[in-house]
Chain A
Amino acid sequence: MSGHSNDNVSSEELWGGGQSPYGISYGKMYMWFFLVSDALTFGGLLTAYGFSRAASEDPWPIGEQVFRALPGLEGHYPLIYVALMTFILIVSSVTMVLAVEAGHRNDKRSVVRWMAATIIGGLFFLGSQAWEWSHFIHGGGGSFLLAKEVTITADNGSEYTLPVGEAIYMDHHFGELAEGYSNGDESVELHSDHGHVKLIQYGEHTHEAELHSLTIHKYITDEQEVSGEFAHKLWDARSTSFTFGANMHENEYALQQSYANFFFFITGFHGFHVFSGVVINIIIFIMAYRGVFEKRKHYEMVEKVGLYWHFIDLVWVFVFTFFYLI
């Protein structure tokens, strides 16, 4: 695209001064070098993630089991939400490249339009990430750990001997009340007799949830549902500690904390890049709108922020693969 006319000059002439040996301006060059260093940072984070995962003695959760919810819908939709986020980011990358292309034609109207589309795409992505974080932090029904060894038969007929410390996952409504119960909320009462475990919350509206099913081995190799008397056996063997969602100290997705910490750090660091990208895009959008680049007779600033914005997309492609897919 740039400087093709100089491709065949000798190196003495090329580096002899008076022209750009790389065929680009210093601004674009520095953006490239910044991106190289930033890419090394993300490369380091993902490598550390891979190492922690391979070195972990506890099982590591599986992406399509942890991330399988859609806003406002019941049921499981593995990876669909993350795929949607990826698609949003790819589309906003495309609108950015169209803004750059329009800049090369000095078409101010199109530049402004495509920059606006890019900003909207970025805001959509940030919003999606906020929802995903919120969902990750609040979690599903929550889990408790076993205080003693239990032998049970799962609903599919296979028999399991579960060791002390095995995590058992509750269904959503039961988990909600169990959280209040474990936090010492006096309005939640436990009723347990003859194979019935019920939690009842008295208040303005009385909530009642009966223990129907518990899930073992969730987020690990295979998910098994347990109900009936065996579910009560698991409930009776519970330790006092419950985990709901994730925070900086514990999480319901894995026995070790590295998983949640890497989730917060890697997606958070990437999200911060998206946030700053949107801010920079807004600045360039305003400059383009006010005709600053039209007066300069070139839209190279759009190209520079474009490089940064594509880089964000590039990083997400890797985060998507290594954090969610593999």
Chain B
Amino acid sequence: MERDDLIVNDSYSLNAHHSEEEGVKIRKKILFVTVLLTAITAVEVAMGIIFKRAETFSWEVIKWTFVALTLVKAGYIVLSFMHLGEERSNLKKTILTPYLLFIVYLVYVVVTEGFGHLFNHNNFH
């Protein structure tokens, strides 16, 4: 099928081909990421089962460990599986910057404004 909306030059991802040898290397990396993601999930589940919530002194630490491990997993999925790590840096910034800006702002607004209402509610009743 001929596509007339594309200009044929090597800058397109359509032409992202690689050889057998490169394929072996890429598959090795995929295997590494697979093992890593599975291991992190196993660690998370083990932590969830072992640590009881009643021990509040360590729960905060465990909670933030969960968040950190999740961000590591997310990083590997986006950068490796979705190939964002191998795209041009202007594309990376175009994708990541708006998302991070909006989501950080959303969390900030919900936490501050949302609980501001609760605090007022408690103060005036």
**A91-B67 Cα distance, complex, nearest whole Å:** 22
Is the beta-carbon distance between B13 and A326 smaller than 8 angstroms?
no
Is the beta-carbon distance between B12 and A23 smaller than 8 angstroms?
yes
User: B15, B18, B82, B95 — which one has the most chain A CB atoms within 10 A of its CB?
Assistant: B82
Q: Chain A residues near B115 (CB, 8 Å)?
A: 54-55
Is the beta-carbon distance between A22 and B44 smaller than 8 angstroms?
no
Q: Does any Cβ of B come within 8 Å of A7's Cβ? A: yes
The range of chain B's interface size is: 35 or more
Is the beta-carbon distance between B19 and A105 smaller than 8 angstroms?
yes
- Cβ-neighbour of B1 out of A64, A295, A307, A321 (below 8 A): A295
Q: Does any Cβ of B come within 8 Å of A164's Cβ? A: no
- Closest Cβ of chain A: how far from B90's Cβ, in Å? 6
Chain A 1-29 per-residue mask, 1 if CB under 8 angstroms from chain B, else 0 = 11101110000000000111111111011
B30-54 contacts to A, CB under 8 A, are 30, 33-34, 37-38, 41-42, 44-45, 47-49, 52-54
Is the beta-carbon distance between A47 and B83 smaller than 8 angstroms?
no
- Cβ-neighbour of A3 out of B12, B82, B118 (below 8 A): B12
- Closest Cβ of chain A: how far from B117's Cβ, in Å? 9
**A63-B18 Cα distance, complex, nearest whole Å:** 44
Q: Chain B residues near A82 (CB, 8 Å)?
A: 45
Which A-chain residue is minimally distant from B6 (CB atoms)? A25
- Closest Cβ of chain B: how far from A153's Cβ, in Å? 20
Q: Chain B residues near A22 (CB, 8 Å)?
A: 87-88, 90-91, 94
B interface, over-half SS = helix
Is the beta-carbon distance between B17 and A101 smaller than 8 angstroms?
no
Is the beta-carbon distance between A2 and B1 smaller than 8 angstroms?
no
Q: Does any Cβ of B come within 8 Å of A90's Cβ? A: yes
Q: Chain A residues near B4 (CB, 8 Å)?
A: none
- Cβ-neighbour of A26 out of B5, B19, B48, B66 (below 8 A): B5
Chain B 84-110 per-residue mask, 1 if CB under 8 angstroms from chain A, else 0 = 001110110011001100110011001
User: B53, B67, B111, B118 — which one has the most chain A CB atoms within 10 A of its CB?
Assistant: B53
Is the beta-carbon distance between A78 and B48 smaller than 8 angstroms?
yes
Is the beta-carbon distance between B13 and A90 smaller than 8 angstroms?
no
**A84-B27 Cα distance, complex, nearest whole Å:** 24
B5-30 contacts to A, CB under 8 A, are 5-7, 9-20, 23, 26-27, 30
Is the beta-carbon distance between B30 and A97 smaller than 8 angstroms?
yes
Q: Does any Cβ of B come within 8 Å of A86's Cβ? A: yes
- Cβ-neighbour of B48 out of A44, A64, A96 (below 8 A): A64
The range of chain A's interface size is: 35 or more
Which B-chain residue is minimally distant from A308 (CB atoms)? B82
Which B-chain residue is minimally distant from A303 (CB atoms)? B13
Q: Chain A residues near B80 (CB, 8 Å)?
A: 97
Q: Chain A residues near B23 (CB, 8 Å)?
A: 101-102, 104-105
10 closest A-B pairs by beta carbon, nearest first, are: A2-B13, A1-B86, A321-B70, A22-B91, A83-B45, A3-B11, A24-B13, A2-B16, A310-B81, A298-B14
Q: A22-B87, A300-B14, A314-B77 provided; 4 other pairs, C-beta below 8 A?
A: A24-B91, A25-B13, A94-B30, A318-B74
**25 A-B contacts (beta carbon < 8 Å):** A1-B16, A1-B86, A3-B10, A6-B11, A22-B90, A22-B94, A23-B91, A24-B13, A33-B95, A39-B103, A47-B110, A64-B49, A83-B41, A87-B41, A94-B33, A94-B81, A101-B26, A105-B20, A221-B54, A296-B1, A300-B13, A310-B77, A317-B73, A321-B44, A325-B44
Residues on B lying within 8 angstroms of A by beta carbon are 1, 3, 5-7, 9-20, 23, 26-27, 30, 33-34, 37-38, 41-42, 44-45, 47-49, 52-54, 63, 66-67, 69-70, 73-74, 77-78, 80-83, 86-88, 90-91, 94-95, 98-99, 102-103, 106-107, 110-111, 114-115, 118
